[in-house]
Structure 1
Amino acid sequence: MTENIYDVTVIGGGPAGLFSAFYAGLREMKTKIIDGQDKLGGKVHLYPQKMIWDIGGTEPLPAGQLIEKSIAQGLTFDPEVVLNTIVTNIQKENDEYFTIGTSKGVKHYSRSVIITIGGGGMIKPVKLNIENAHLFENKNLHYAVPDIKRFTDKKILITGGSYSAVDWANDLSPIAREIHIIYRGDDLTAHEADVTRLERNGVKVMTQSEVTGVSGGELMEYVEITNNQTGDITNDAYDELIVNHGYDQENLLFRENNLGLDLENDFFVKAAPTGMTNVPGIFAAGDCIRYTGKVNLIAGAYADAVNAVNNAKTYLDPKADQFAMVSSHNQRLKDKNKKLMY
């Protein structure tokens, strides 16, 4: 049993979780990451082509590249990684460790826990609820824009009227051959200036319309569009279909809240800037944490992670240093530094 108890378990594999895992390894803590998705990276996978500018000391880079670097850094000290597993509850068994329950029925054991599940927990895109749509997912029917270059000289249909849908239409207009955007309401709900840009960029807008069918062979070839006012149905050829109908949020961990964590709006953990919650041994970092002065940036998530790990370390060992030695002189990185330098 003892070998299955980790010093710290990080719940969530986004930027805050990955940096927590790195820093916990730096502090010589036996670390595990549990994430509900099938890959590490968190919600950044929803916008891999968006440029990130606000991380100190780093030139702007696409979010997809940032998350690749974050994953590599998070795995530096070989933490145990458990994917496709949603944490449903945490219970304090005794003074020694917590039991972490999951949707798969498998239990994990940890002396401390850092919650880094982001704002709202698991976020899943609302799927296109029509027959055969699933056949074209990960081909040319998308719920996020994976690689902007693939849309070069393509005829694209975007369904959705929110800021994100309109933003993608404007961003893709310089490289696409043709872009149509449809929305089932009367008016697009994005910012007025962005809607005006659609016209300047030559994007055709169809309101009171929705996708009612898709068809094709290996790839989607035709999209059936129904005008909800007139009842007219068209069946047009498109190279790519981007669906932006919002996201479903799921947070089973906070729904049960066995430990009585102090929450805000059932989705966020009230905590100190140190990452300490009202439950000793439970810490939080990133977008899921709320405190006065909280910075809701990826850069802020990194600071949260450092604070959470440092306080988890001293929770486990009150004699431990409050802070880790800086990386340039840290003995844990000595061999790695030599390899990089020479």
Structure 2
Amino acid sequence: MQARSAGSTRALPFVFWDAPLRRGTRSVMRRLRLPGPVRASSSSESEFEGVGGDEAVQTALEEQLRLQLTSEVIKESIKDDLRSKVEDIKQIGEELHAELDEGYRIERFRNELETQETLSTAMSKFNELEDEIAAMKQQLEADREDLAAWERASATARSKGLFFKTLYAPEADAAAAAAQQQRGGGGSGARQPEGAAGRFAGQVRGSLDPEAAEAARLAAAKVRTPAEREVGSPLRLWLFAYMAGVLALVVGQDLMTAQPSVGHDALYGVLALVLGFNAWNERQVLLIGHSSEVEEERQRRQRQQQQQQQQQQQQEK
């Protein structure tokens, strides 16, 4: 038993023999240690005489208690260390979570600001384009009114010219008309209306002169073509199409997120439709202007061919 206690004492590590632990263990052992020679009372002194404690057993018990206390202290220290580390890890996790939430909110706020800035810029450009379109429409209406006034003036001038042409007829025609009236006798009353109708028909035929109608149509085309070119613009077509595409992409990206903004998506969708409709109108106007240019070029070539034919005929005569 003494050898075992001596071996266990030698097997203990150096760290267990620190001064505070040794003092605490000794204080416990002093309270638990069996007394030495038991001193009996006066009444039973003879009964317990010769009873004493075993020093080896007491030393072994002391070492065992010291080991248990040391292990408990180590366990408590390890548990406290683990608790502190767990608390530190929890605190670090909460801080990281708060930082991530703050970063997400900041990024979302930045995206909203950029979107609002882009939308305000697009709306300002859209308002400017609407003002330009309204001014062009007013200019087109003014050009149409000028064209209508010119057509009325030209028709009035043409009518006056035809009236004076029939009023101052040649003398031969006047003599032939007088001879016809004399030969007709009593039937002159019925023939005069026919002559008046003939003059009226001549005036109508004169007013429908192909050359005059062609000249009027060319003049109208000269006024209408620049107005159509002003209304249609490839720059506006591409700008409307680009803005509509950007808004459509913004709506698509927002709808793909976990929490889409329905109000903004609806507004952007309506704006994209309006811009797409304006782009389609610009395309139609450009197509009309191109077709009118092609028609003018064809008519110009026809007139050149006719002039060349007339010159050839005059040279042959």
Bigger relative contact order, structure 1 or 2 (CA pairs below 8 A, ≥6 apart): 1
Where on the TM-score scale, by shorter chain, does this alignment land: which range?
A: under 0.3
User: What TM-score results when the alignment is normalised by the length of structure 2?
Assistant: 0.18
Greater helix share, structure number: 2
| TM-score between the two structures when normalised by the length of structure 1 | 0.17
